[in-house]
Amino acid sequence: MGNTQIKAYGATSVTTPMHEMNITRRDIRPCDVEFEILYCGICHSDLHSIRNDWGNAVYPQVPGHEIVGRITRIGSEVKKFKIGDLAAVGCIVESCQSCQYCHEGEEQFCEQGVTFSFNSEDKISGGMTYGGFSQTYVCDEKYVLQMPAFEDLASAAPLLCAGITVYSPLKHWRAGKGKHIGILGIGGLGHLAIKIAKAMGAYVTVFTSSPAKVTDAKRLGADAAVLSSDKEQMRACPPQDMILDTVSAEHDVNRYINLLKVDGSLVIVGLPAEPLKVGAFNIIHGRKSFSGSNIGGIAETQEMLDFCYRHNIVADSEIIDIKEVNTAFDRLARGDVKYRFVIDMSTLK
């Protein structure tokens, strides 16, 4: 069997709306699986990429890296999956498998560079990878996750990027019982961070600039919510072991570094376009850290999925038709979503 033409939704330039197009998927190799895509989440990085905000977009481009589906074909050497299984693909679909970080299960730090699930150089087929706004996906089983049978499968799709982006640092900085964990910002990342940190057993305090989101923080499970513009509330906040910063807009991180305990860490997972200024004294006083984190490896992503399944954690999602995707991207740019869009891919026929 040769390569297969399938339907997808993507853009042919930075100025054109996304529209239906045909793309080619490779035929399966011995270690590959093919799956029909059931749902695909929309991540803020999809928006940045399709609009070439980072200057590395290649067109035509098919975004989507929060991909959930059902296996339709398997290669002759596949061991993890059988036809009919639920499966998922997140950000990473290939790495060198020979460097220190790949051996340690942290493929996101691969020394030779990972292949991402879309808009990345395709080292197998040539050209660029195409993402989950499409009918099917083909991937080496090493990078395919065993998707638990979430009751709300659609709303579990954002776990493939947003979920692991917050789970990995919460685990690394040992969020758990007896720890005060702050979450800065309630959006696609922050609302999942609240749920996950709480399930880990931490005392969760949310910091938000929006009065309306103070109430929502409690609904999501936070123990406390602080309006960051209220100096008295900020002053009264107990010292934090860790604050997870999910904000992608410019903001003053020093205000939050000052809320950390001795040896506390402010860990950034949002991506502000401009450099952030950090006062040296704020770090030195209390031996504090300003750190970052970036997704997670394949094994840790599987661990996160299993954890969220046990604790019944999914994203607060709005399920949309593929034909609504341009409107959804415009709304996402305005922050008009609570808190993730997920595409029902059965609408791409």
d(CA 12, CA 172): 40
Nearest to 348 by CA among 320, 321, 328, 329: 321
> pLDDT tens-digit profile of 87-118?
999 999 999 999 999 999 999 999 999 999 99
Element of type H or E holding 183: strand 180-184
- Residue 284 makes CB contacts below 8 A (sequence gap 6+) with none
In this structure, are residues 140 and 123 in contact, taking their beta carbons and an 8 Å threshold?
Answer: no
Residues in the chain, pLDDT under 50? 1
pTM of this structure: 0.95
> pLDDT tens-digit profile of 240-284?
999 999 998 899 999 999 999 999 999 999 988 789 999 999 999
Coil, helix or strand for 207? Answer: strand
Q: How many residues in total does the chain contain?
A: 349
Nearest to 218 by CA among 237, 236, 204: 204
d(CA 82, CA 75): 10
In this structure, are residues 189 and 166 in contact, taking their beta carbons and an 8 Å threshold?
Answer: yes
Question: What's residue 2's pLDDT?
Answer: 59
